[in-house]
A and B are shown apart, each in its own frame.
Chain A
Amino acid sequence: MLNRFFLLLFFIQSLAFAQDIPQKPNPVRFVNDLVGGLLSQGEIDQLEQKLKAYNDSTSTQIAIVIVNSVQPYDISEYAVKLGREWGVGQKDKNNGIVLLWAPSDRKVFIATGYGVEGGLTDAYSKRIIEEVIKPNFKESRYYQGLDEATNRIFKYLAGEFDADPSTTNTGSWEDLLFMVVFFIIVVVFILKPRGGGYNGGTSNTTYTSWGSSSGSSSSDYDSSSSSSDFGGGSFGGGGAGGDY
């Protein structure tokens, strides 16, 4: 009976979590200022560019998330939950990092995905917090703090991960070439049964299946070129944090 009660408690707790964790941004952004006013738009764009380039070259995803407060949760709990829900990092590598900052709690936490724990150990995360974030944040130099912190993360993770073949393929002319070739193939296949005139009944269904497959692949193309999505990485509670 007691267990039933706890079961209920868990259910309520999971509901409460679902409401507290902010939604994954759409389109995906690596820098998420949900408070506003702490970084200028230029600074946000600069960080975004930097983290996007890092994702493109190493497949490692670093999400900077600024939320007003993590109350009533522990900041590490919140960061893990957010990282898992958004799926920061690649699914097969779990190489995501969430740098969570709660200005009204004056707390910062670096949460590391399962795959990053080896390179960016808890002790290194702690050092970044102590040596980079704290001194800068105390002087309200927020951009410098975040900028240097990401540099240090890059340093610790140097050589740990390679780019995914699928995500490196974002050179625009390569995609364009691929699309043109694909389009030609689709056109050739669609025109062929019409010219031959055989299989009247089944060719109809083939049209639609081809049509839908080309439609879905073009939407894949859109998502990979406009913004790189979070890959579904998971977190196990690694990382470190502190108050400033």
Chain B
Amino acid sequence: MNKSTLIIVGILLIFGMYGCSSYNGLVGKDQDVKGKWANVQTQYQRRSDLIPNLVNTVKGAADFEKSTLTAVIQARASATAVNIKADDLTPANIQKFQAAQDQLSGALSRLLVSVEKYPDLKANQNFLELQSQLEGTENRIAVARNDFNTSVQGYNSSALSFPTVIFAKMFGFAEKGFFQASDSAQAAPSVKF
């Protein structure tokens, strides 16, 4: 073995070791993002589960305007149809997911606003409990989304910065998407008392 092969072997070895450690680092961060994503989905699911109850309570307690209710039901259906796998958290997918959920947020907030016109409903104990659960769920969604974003930030800054980006490309660690504050997200059900 001559000197130049030794040098090449040495460089390859260092390259390989560095590759291993950045691979492991990326795996850890990737898992963290996936865990945070699971929590985001859980909280959205929780909201989705509350909606049938809410709709039934509203329907039962007052002669409620049909169009608002159907808007909520439809938005819920289309929001649950958008299901993003944890392996596929590309910016485009996250945006799609967020758009569907934000539409549901908008429909829900319109529902809660029109409830103001029905004093019977506002005094209904069942409705009040549901409303507080819904509020709590919106808060949990906000926290879960924030945690997810923080996690993605850590992942992306590793996966996109040099020299880790070489290994990220090699092993297929793609950039992940963020939740972004949008105008419709500002209109999420905020309930005034």
Chain B residues within an 8 Å CB radius of A125: 132, 136
| Min CB gap A172→B, angstroms | 40
Q: Which listed segment binds A: B1-9, B51-59, B140-148, B163-171? A: B140-148
| Residue contact B144 to A236, C-beta cutoff 8 Å | yes
Chain B residues within an 8 Å CB radius of A122: 132-133, 135-137
Residue tally, chain A, CB below 8 Å to B: 23
**Any B CB within 8 A of the CB of A231:** no
Chain B positions within 8 Å of A, measured between CB atoms, are 39, 91, 128-129, 132-133, 135-137, 139-144, 149-150, 153, 156-157, 175, 177-178, 180, 192-193
| Min CB gap A4→B, angstroms | 8
Chain B residues within an 8 Å CB radius of A121: 133
| Min CB gap B156→A, angstroms | 7
Q: Which of B136, B141, B193 is packed against the most chain A CB atoms within 10 Å?
A: B136
Chain A positions within 8 Å of B, measured between CB atoms, are 3, 6-7, 10, 14, 74, 76-77, 80, 121-123, 125-126, 130, 235-240, 242-243
- Give the 6 A-B CB pairs with smallest separation, nearest first: A122-B136, A237-B143, A126-B132, A237-B140, A237-B139, A123-B129
Cβ-closest chain A residue relative to B140 = A237
| Min CB gap A121→B, angstroms | 8
Cβ-closest chain A residue relative to B130 = A123
Beyond contacts A122-B137, A126-B129: 16 other A-B pairs, Cβ-Cβ < 8 A, are: A3-B91, A7-B156, A7-B157, A74-B142, A77-B139, A122-B132, A123-B128, A123-B129, A125-B136, A126-B132, A236-B143, A237-B140, A237-B142, A237-B144, A238-B136, A238-B140
Chain B residues within an 8 Å CB radius of A235: 143
Given contacts A3-B175, A122-B135, contact A243 B143 (CB under 8 A): no
| Residue contact B136 to A6, C-beta cutoff 8 Å | no
Cα–Cα distance between A121 and B140 once the two chains are bound (Å): 13
Cβ-closest chain A residue relative to B129 = A123
Cβ-closest chain A residue relative to B91 = A3
Cα–Cα distance between A53 and B79 once the two chains are bound (Å): 47
Cα–Cα distance between A17 and B139 once the two chains are bound (Å): 17
| Residue contact B150 to A3, C-beta cutoff 8 Å | no
| Residue contact A7 to B143, C-beta cutoff 8 Å | no
Our pick among A3, A74, A242 for the contact of B178 (Cβ within 8 Å) is A3
| Min CB gap B83→A, angstroms | 22
Cβ-closest chain B residue relative to A238 = B136
| Residue contact B193 to A239, C-beta cutoff 8 Å | no
| Residue contact A236 to B140, C-beta cutoff 8 Å | yes
Chain A residues within an 8 Å CB radius of B144: 236-237
Our pick among A3, A76, A77, A242 for the contact of B193 (Cβ within 8 Å) is A242
Chain A residues within an 8 Å CB radius of B149: 10
Our pick among B132, B142, B153 for the contact of A123 (Cβ within 8 Å) is B132
| Min CB gap A62→B, angstroms | 18
